[in-house]
Amino acid sequence: MNVEINDLTRRFGRNRAVDGVSLRAGAGVFGLLGPNGAGKTTLLRMMATVIPPSSGTLRLLGRDPGSYGPRREIRRRVGYLPQNLGYYPGFTVAEFVEYFALLKDMPPREVPRAVAAAVEQVGLGGRARSRMRTLSGGMLRRAGIAQAIVNQPEVLLLDEPTAGLDPEQRVSFRALLRDLGERATVIVSTHLVEDVGAACGEVALMDAGKIVFHGTPDELTARGEGTGAAGDAPLERGYSAVLAAARSATAVRS
């Protein structure tokens, strides 16, 4: 298993952003669904080793990121697209991707070819020498994806990767995700249910820091059947039904 999480919790003051989450993920595309504030981004940031957990255990690629050596090795082999991608406005797309390839400790001789491949994979070949400040929101997102995949990561963490992409690009991106998922663990955080249905083999639904559903998209769809839950598509109805059930259970307990 590339990702092993056991009873992971992250607190910010009194607020538990992630509350006792346990997950295991091997190769394939894993969707993290949930409403805004559910804890998806915090969970992803912990997996990206940007912030440490408050308690619980996290193992990535069989290593504990709590100590320097293993954390460095993990970071070499992980790709991460944060929700808010910062960028250097004066960098070209190729320079931006190259910068992070170098920070990932890739062998310098391999970097130019890896950069070219990643930039082409996200369809930015024609804009490789454009300054980042001249790109549209969708192009910036694709540049962010390019830096995440430049090192051919074994664990790829994508936070709202399709935000800003037009429908055609989203369809292409889902195909890219499926392809990447054949050899790597791809964890995609999104609130767009259709992305999960189209690309993910496994899905977890988070609410209030907890995982309230874990299964396949088909199983999530089945949860919505005959419930009268809101939603235009079967998967959306499953999503709504699971959330409603989780919230009513929480209300009863409290």
Partner 1 sequence: MTGRDEMAGDHDSLAGRGPGPGDVDLDRVWLGVAAQVWRRDPGPAERAAARLLRSPGLARALVTTPSLLAGWLIATAVVLLAGLFATLGTGTPYVPLLAPAVAAAGIAYAYGPGIDPAWELSRSMAVSDRIVLLARTLAVFAVNAALGLAAAAAGAAAVPNAAAVTFGWLVPMTAVCALALAAATLAQSASAGVAAGVAGWVIVVLAGQSASGRLTAVITDAGLVLPYLAFAAVCAAIAWAATRVPRGT
Contacts to partner 1 by CB under 8 A: 10-11, 13, 48-55, 66, 68, 71-73, 75-76, 78, 80, 82, 84-89, 92, 94-95, 98-100, 102-105, 108, 111-113, 115-117, 119-129, 142, 147, 168-169, 171-173, 175-176, 179-180
Are the C-beta atoms of residues 144 and 85 closer than 8 Å to each other? yes
Spatial separation of the C-alpha atoms in residues 205 and 207, rounded to whole Å: 7
Nearer to partner 1 by Cβ, of 2 and 92: the residue is: 92
Q: Compute the least distance from the CB of residue 59 to partner 1, in Å.
A: 16
Task: Decide whether 125 or 249 has the Cβ nearer to partner 1.
Answer: 125
Q: How far is the CB of 247 from partner 1 (least distance, A)?
A: 26
Taking the complex as a whole, the smallest distance from the CB of residue 116 to partner 1 amounts, in Å, to: 4
Residue 212 beta carbon to partner 1: minimum distance, rounded to whole angstroms: 22
Give which of 205, 81, 185, 67 is closest to 143, Cα–Cα. 81
Q: What is the enclosing helix (H) or strand (E) of 101? A: helix 93-103
DSSP 8-state code for residue 60 = E
Structural element, H or E, at residue 226: none
C-alpha–C-alpha distance, residues 169 and 207, integer Å: 29
Shorter beta-carbon distance to partner 1: residue 16 or 214: 16
